[in-house]
Structure 1
Amino acid sequence: MKPRVSLVTLGVGDLARARRFYETGLGWKVSGASNEHVVFIQLGGGVALGLFGRSALAEDAHLADAGTGFSGITLAQNLESKEAVDRAMDLAVAAGATVLKKPQDVFWGGYSGYFADPEGHVWELAWNPFFPLSDDGGITLS
Structure 2
Amino acid sequence: MEPRISMLTLGVTDLEASTRFYRDGLGLPEYESEGDVTFFETAGAWLALYPRTALAEDATVCADGDGFRGMSIAHNVESKRDVDTVLEEASGAGATIRKPARDTDWGGYSGYFADLDGFLWEVAWNPDMDLTG
- TM norm structure 1: 0.91
Show structure 1 runs of 5+ residues with no match: none
Matched residue, 1:120: 118
Provide the rounded CA distance (Å) in 2 between the counterparts of 1:132 and 1:6.
Answer: 19
Aligned to 1:105: 103
The ranges of structure 1 where at least 4 consecutive aligned residues each deviate by more than 2 angstroms after the TM superposition are none
- Matched residue, 1:31: 31
What is the Cα deviation at residue 77 of structure 1? 0.5
Match for residue 41 of structure 1?
A: 40
Q: What SS does the corresponding residue of 1:76 show, helix, strand or coil?
A: strand
How far residue 66 of structure 1 moved from its aligned partner, in angstroms, is: 3.4
Structure-1 residue corresponding to 2:2: 2
Match of 2:40, SS?
strand
Q: Percent identity of the aligned residues?
A: 50
CA distance in 2: counterparts of 1:83 and 1:120, whole angstroms: 24
Alignment gaps of 5+ in structure 2 = none
**Normalising by structure 2, what TM-score?**
0.97
Over the residues paired in the alignment, what is the CA RMSD in angstroms? 0.9
Deviations 1:78-130 (A, max 9, x none): 10000000000000000000000000001111000000001111000000011
1:65, distance to aligned residue in structure 2 (A): 1.5
1:71 matched to 2:86? The reply is: no
2:96 maps to 1:85: no
CA distance in 2: counterparts of 1:12 and 1:116, whole angstroms? 13
Instruction: Give the letter for the 2:15 counterpart.
Output: L
